[in-house]
C-alpha cells in the first residue's frame, strides 16, 4: 500500500513539473477547466492502451488552478500523456507555442520556429491496439526468420488474402469513382452552359 501511495505521489509530481512549463494564470480559468475535463476524459482511454490495465483508472485527477494532473491505471502504470492530444501536456505545449508566436512581434521566421522547434503531441507514437497480419513470402527474409518485424495493417484485412488482391480491388473502385466523377463534372458544366445560352 505504501508503494502505491509513493507511486501516486511520484506520478503527480512528474505531471506537475511537466504541466508547469507555462504560467497557469496566463490562461483563463474557464479554458483550464476545459483542459482538465479533457484530461480526465482521456485517462480511461489512455489506460486501455496499456497492456494489463482496465479502462477504470486507479487515480484520475486534474487541478485547473495549477494544471497538475494524475492518471494512474488499474495496474499502477501511468501512460505518457505527452504522446496524446486532449491531455494537459498537449494543451500546455500548444499554449506555450501560441505565447511564443505572440512574443515574435510578427516576425514570420520566429513564429515558424516556435511551432517547428516545439512539436506537440506524439512524434513517434507506440502502436498498442492494432491488427497484425503476417504476410507469407516466397523466400524468408532475415527479419522474418529472426522473429523481428511484424506488418501492421490498420484496415483489418483478412490475413489469408494476398496483399495484391485487396489493393487491386480498392484501386479499381477508386478508378471507377474518378471516371464517374469526371463525367459528372463535365455533364454539370455542359448543362450550365446550355442554360446560359
Check whether residue 102 and residue 193 sit in a common domain: no
107 in the same domain as 41: yes
User: In this model, does residue 142 exceed pLDDT 50?
Assistant: no
**Model pLDDT, residue 121:** 82
Q: Does 109 share its domain with 149?
A: no
Q: Note the pLDDT tens digit of each residue in 47-101.
A: 998 888 988 999 999 999 999 999 999 999 999 888 889 999 999 999 999 999 9
Distance, CA of 121 to CA of 139 (rounded, Å): 39
How many domains are there within the chain? Answer: 3
Which backbone phi and psi does 63 adopt, to 5 degrees?
-110, 110
Q: Please state, in angstroms and rounded to a whole number, the distance separating the CA atoms of residues 188 and 183.
A: 9
* Same domain membership, residue 177 and residue 111: no
Is residue 175 classed as helix, strand or coil in its secondary structure? helix
69 neighbors 19 (Cβ within 8 angstroms)? yes
28 lies in the same domain as 62: yes
Beta bridge partners of 152: 132
Q: Domain range for residue 148? A: 130-161
pTM: 0.54
Query: What dihedral angle (degrees, nearest 10) is formed by the CA atoms of 179, 181, 183, 185?
Result: -150
Considering the domain architecture, whether residues 91 and 38 belong to the same structural domain is answered as yes
Q: 31 and 57: one domain?
A: yes
Q: Whose CA is closest to 67, among 28, 30, 29, 19?
A: 19
Amino acid at each position: 500500500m505504501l508503494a502505491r501511495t509513493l507511486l501516486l505521489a511520484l506520478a503527480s509530481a512528474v505531471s506537475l513539473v511537466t504541466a508547469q512549463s507555462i504560467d497557469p494564470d496566463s490562461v483563463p480559468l474557464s479554458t483550464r477547466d476545459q483542459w482538465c475535463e479533457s484530461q480526465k476524459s482521456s485517462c480511461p482511454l489512455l489506460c486501455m492502451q496499456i497492456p494489463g490495465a482496465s479502462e477504470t483508472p486507479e487515480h484520475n485527477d486534474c487541478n485547473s488552478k495549477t494544471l497538475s494532473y494524475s492518471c494512474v491505471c488499474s495496474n499502477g502504470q501511468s501512460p505518457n500523456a505527452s504522446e496524446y492530444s486532449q491531455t494537459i501536456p498537449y494543451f500546455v505545449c500548444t499554449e506555450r507555442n501560441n505565447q511564443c508566436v505572440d512574443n515574435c512581434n510578427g516576425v514570420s521566421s520566429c513564429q515558424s520556429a516556435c511551432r517547428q522547434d516545439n512539436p506537440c503531441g506524439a512524434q513517434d507514437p507506440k502502436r498498442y491496439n492494432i491488427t497484425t497480419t503476417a504476410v507469407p513470402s516466397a523466400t524468408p527474409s532475415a527479419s522474418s526468420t529472426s522473429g523481428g518485424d511484424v506488418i501492421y495493417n490498420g484496415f483489418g484485412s483478412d490475413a489469408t488474402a494476398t496483399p495484391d488482391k485487396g489493393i487491386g480491388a480498392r484501386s479499381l473502385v477508386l478508378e471507377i469513382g474518378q471516371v464517374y466523377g469526371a463525367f459528372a463534372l463535365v455533364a454539370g458544366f455542359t448543362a450550365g452552359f446550355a442554360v446560359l445560352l
